[in-house]
Amino acid sequence: MGLRSFGSVYDWSRLSGYRSVAGDYPEGMIDLSVGSPVDSVPKRIMMALTDAADAPGYPKTAGSPELRTAMADWFLNCRGFDLREIDAVSLPTVGSKEAVALMASLLGLGEGDVVVQPQVSYPTYEIGTQLAGATVMKVADVADVAAWSHQPGVRMVWVNSPSNPTGETLSIAQMSGIVRAARSIGAVVVSDECYAMMSWSGSPSCCVLDPAVCGGDCSNLVMLYSLSKQSSIAGYRAAFMAGDRAIVERMSVYRRQMGLIVPGPIQHAMVEALRDVQDVEAQADRYRSRLVRLVAALRDAGYDASMPQGGLYVWVRALSGDCWKDLGALAKLGIMASPGEFYGDGSRLRFSSTARDDDVDAACSRLSRGV
């Protein structure tokens, strides 16, 4: 495996000028651009981290026995199925971003291989494909399998539900169709479900490993999940993958040799986070409330905002038709958003709900003055 060079428009330094303007606003800048948690880590998770601080030995790459049990229990309690019944295994990762970026490389993909992804999506999918030396194939809708299932060389398909940035979720029928099409051509489906516990449409988003989706067979399927948003522990770098035993166990071997191992104290904290239902629900309620307020304020300001089906973001068309022009106007109000160009559509903007309640309220007030 040799990492190749990559090119991407996803460069936060491009926002420095806008941040400077927003920072000059008399009441200060309100940052709705980066989806970084701001709410405090639940005390029970901090206590678990502290309790495990005396950790002189090397941690387990595959996770401690307690963590492996907690991950399996999470699927049963939160996703509604038993990993053991589909012969799936799980593996902790150092946050989900490194798993996303290295997935194509660790699957052994390279020149001549094609990786399918949504046209509008998290930029690291494309970067990871480029790092592996494979070819990126962007499609408007991955659920439209006719758009990619006859393309020669497809070896991997990215799915993201709920989506960053659009907030759209896939139904069981759509996810099942993707799985069937990918299997028919021998491709691996990797489903990024890091916002799974933040579904606003009335029912949880479906999981690619759910027997209702995969037919009780997890071959060629990998699911990624992050604890960053549900538990406000992005700083811990705590996530995991699960799925096809052969794939995940091969990943574990590679990761052990590369030193990509979640530290022991973090693994102990993950156990508590995976068992914590009360704080996860409370955090989801905070995000839901912030999204409702943001959507209302953006609509009043003229944007075509609507409540996302899931996730943390409001995805809107730029009033000017150009994300950068709108960013300039918003910066004059002391508000920072993300340019849609970063995610594949330069005519849109992404607003994040990862801001404190008083900042969200202040942003809503400023938007009422007009963009």
What's residue 201's pLDDT? 83
Neighbours of 28 (CB within 10 A): 12
Number of C-alpha atoms within 13 angstroms, CB side, residue 112? 1
What's residue 370's pLDDT? 78
Query: What band does 128 get if pLDDT is binned at 50, 70 and 90?
Result: very high
* CA–CA gap between residue 331 and residue 337 (Å, rounded): 9
| pLDDT digits 0-9 by tens, 59-114 | 999 999 999 999 999 999 999 999 999 999 999 999 999 999 999 999 999 999 99
Helix, strand, coil tally for the chain in percent (to 5): 45, 15, 40
* CA–CA gap between residue 359 and residue 371 (Å, rounded): 18
H or E segment and range at residue 43? helix 43-51
* CA–CA gap between residue 285 and residue 357 (Å, rounded): 12
SS3 state of residue 352: strand
Query: What band does 9 get if pLDDT is binned at 50, 70 and 90?
Result: low
State mean pLDDT over 269-287.
97
- pTM assigned to the model: 0.94
* CA–CA gap between residue 264 and residue 225 (Å, rounded): 19
SS3 state of residue 143: coil
Q: Identity (one letter) of the amino acid at 98? A: E
Sequential DSSP letters for 6-27: ---S--GGGGHHHHHHHHTSTT
What's residue 13's pLDDT? 87
17: left (phi over 0), alpha (psi -120 to 50) or beta: alpha
State mean pLDDT over 119-137.
97
The mean predicted confidence, pLDDT, of the chain is 96
Query: What band does 51 get if pLDDT is binned at 50, 70 and 90?
Result: very high
* CA–CA gap between residue 245 and residue 88 (Å, rounded): 5
What's residue 12's pLDDT? 83
What's residue 235's pLDDT? 97
Q: In whole angstroms, how far apart are CA 40 and each of 230, 240, 282?
A: 12, 22, 12
What's residue 167's pLDDT? 97
| pLDDT digits 0-9 by tens, 229-242 | 999 999 999 999 99
Structure tokens at 256: 């052990």
| Domains, the chain | 12-40+278-369 (3.90.1150.10), 43-276 (3.40.640.10)
| pLDDT digits 0-9 by tens, 198-239 | 999 877 799 999 999 999 999 999 999 999 999 999 999 999
Helices (H) and strands (E) in the chain, counts: 13, 12
What's residue 204's pLDDT? 72
The label of the residue with tokens 């398909």 reads: 157
What's residue 203's pLDDT? 73
Residue 10 has pLDDT above 80, yes or no: no
What's residue 301's pLDDT? 97
Neighbours of 80 (CB within 10 A): 13
| pLDDT digits 0-9 by tens, 310-333 | 999 999 999 999 999 999 999 999
DSSP state at residue 310 = B
Nearest CA to 256 among 58, 49, 30? 58
Residue 293 has pLDDT above 80, yes or no: yes
What share of the chain has pLDDT > 70, as a percent? 97
What's residue 5's pLDDT? 66
The label of the residue with tokens 């002391």 reads: 334
Residue 261 has pLDDT above 90, yes or no: yes
Residue 148 has pLDDT above 90, yes or no: yes
What's residue 72's pLDDT? 97
* CA–CA gap between residue 158 and residue 192 (Å, rounded): 7
